[in-house]
Structure 1
Amino acid sequence: MTPNFDGKVAVITGAGAGFGAAFARALAQRGAAVALLDIDSAAAEHEARAIRDRGGLATGYGCDVADDAAFDDVLARIVAERGGVDILINNAGLHSAEFNKGFAELGSAASRRLIDVNIMGVVNGSVACRPVMAARGGGVILNISSIAAWSCTTAYGVSKLAVRGLTLSFAHEFAGDNIRVNAIAPGLIATDKIRGDFPPAFFDHFANTLQSVHRTGEVDDVVSAMLYLCSDQSSFVTGETLKVSGGYPLAL
């Protein structure tokens, strides 16, 4: 059955492009009112306007998730406008080749920014939304980790390992408020940004030699997992990190 989100309010961070924008579109198509947060306010509002043009309920907000006060301010606006929050997707993150390197190579300033966004951004959003969700009788938090969290050979991978840990911790901590917390760990997914980072031959090689499913991962593969984990269809699931990676790597 296709999940229905009528009457739900969903907050999606990093929603100006990529997974975040796709998540917002999919939830709005299924009845949710969506709040798109992004450090690029123009990008967030552009995506929100596109959703409204198709008849959905959407608003874009500028927000740096690493700034807890800024997140609190935006959340207060969302609650005033929509009445509360039922779903939070902690999607905002720094990634790709720029951060897929060791801490020494990355340097202190970039490492600190990576931790602030990828780790503290999840903390800030989750802690802020907890009482708002509790006031509505519960909710769902979905974090975006990465298959890189299983190798941890780069600063990016370590940050996504922390997201797995936060998912477990918050699932336990928030259970008394009827808030489920899960995560998705995408493998190599052909977003526009990732397609720009690698040549087409790289995707073919990865799919045919490193994955068990011999095709390129697409954004819709991750969207399908999101819809399941954010819906009542997964009401008995919490504290889990679901790999969406075409079976890469099966040994982990």
Structure 2
Amino acid sequence: MTNNEYAGKIAFITGGGRGFGKAFGTALAERGAHVVLADIDDEVAESAAAELIARGAGATGVACDVADEAAVAAALDAVAEQHGGLDILVNNAGLHAAFNRPFTELGVGNVRRVFDVNVLGTVICTLAAHPLMAGREGAAIVNISSSAAYANRTVYGVSKLAVRGLTVAFAREFAADGIRVNAIAPGLIFTDAVREQLSPAEAKRVLGEQILEQEGREEDIVEALLYLLSPKASFVTGETLRVTGGFALSV
């Protein structure tokens, strides 16, 4: 445990069993929050939670398909019963690389699938969490968009553009309840999984489109999350913070 900045806070993180979601959960748990790691793969979620518990942190792993309204309701009902409310929601779960292709290549069935998870999943989780968060001091939601949302060339990119729109819409709707809503748009982040999947030529191409000549790190996204959730961002809502090294920069 590094500090108690989030002591007493309850955080629900979708896609929490691996990748960014696991990193977000670890950072919040290390700072005193009890984190609920929700993942479509229950074994992965429970394993990630067990790692945190072994380190003395508060964590729960739950099975949850964000596109399944009943499953989300059940998971958040359990949070309400066990903890009395919710302070932090991180809408991180999403479908990624395989859907970063044109609409004509994917077809309607795959388009529907990616929108069900990336867009409707964000809506379902946010609406279910809203009554548990309303009126709680410092309540905040962070959605995970993407730098692809600024290019809009693929099904994935358009779904993440929709996440940016949802961020603004929910920020307006929830302001009266004291809930801030923001998003992060990561660029290419060189995790171990990305290094395995990305060809050297593709990595070079993306780095060449950045302004900063350095590789994005998972810690860069974690730090952005911690800022948006913190009192330092108390006057920030409805925004999407790009963490991209200057990729796809525009005004």
Give the TM-score normalised by structure 2.
0.95
Match of 1:245 in 2: 244
- For 2:206 and 2:138, how far apart are their aligned partners in 1? 40
The offset of 1:232, in angstroms, is 1.2
Match of 1:177 in 2: 177
- For 2:151 and 2:248, how far apart are their aligned partners in 1? 10
Match of 1:16 in 2: 17
The offset of 1:75, in angstroms, is 0.4
Q: Deviations over 1:100-139 (max 9, x none)?
A: 1112211122111100000001001110111110153561
Output the amino acid matched with 1:126: T
Match of 2:234 in 1: 235
- For 2:126 and 2:202, how far apart are their aligned partners in 1? 36
1:100 equivalent to 2:100? Answer yes
| Kept after mapping to 1: 8 A contact 2:4/2:32 | no
- For 2:199 and 2:82, how far apart are their aligned partners in 1? 44
| Kept after mapping to 1: 8 A contact 2:103/2:154 | yes
1:76 equivalent to 2:77? Answer yes
- For 2:118 and 2:247, how far apart are their aligned partners in 1? 22
Which range is displaced more, 60-69 or 104-113? 104-113
- For 1:205 and 1:53, how far apart are their aligned partners in 2? 41
| Kept after mapping to 2: 8 A contact 1:48/1:59 | yes
Structure 1: runs of 5+ lacking an equivalent: none
| Kept after mapping to 2: 8 A contact 1:12/1:91 | yes
- For 2:194 and 2:18, how far apart are their aligned partners in 1? 12
Output the amino acid matched with 1:65: V
Q: Deviations over 1:24-77 (max 9, x none)?
A: 000000000000000001001111000111110000000000011110000011
Match of 2:209 in 1: 210
- For 1:125 and 1:138, how far apart are their aligned partners in 2? 19
How many residue pairs get aligned? The number is 249
Structure 2: runs of 5+ lacking an equivalent: none
Match of 2:221 in 1: 222
Give the TM-score normalised by structure 1.
0.95
The offset of 1:79, in angstroms, is 1.5
Output the amino acid matched with 1:95: H
Match of 1:195 in 2: 195
- For 2:93 and 2:172, how far apart are their aligned partners in 1? 23
Output the amino acid matched with 2:74: D
Output the amino acid matched with 1:103: F
The offset of 1:78, in angstroms, is 1.3
Output the amino acid matched with 1:85: L
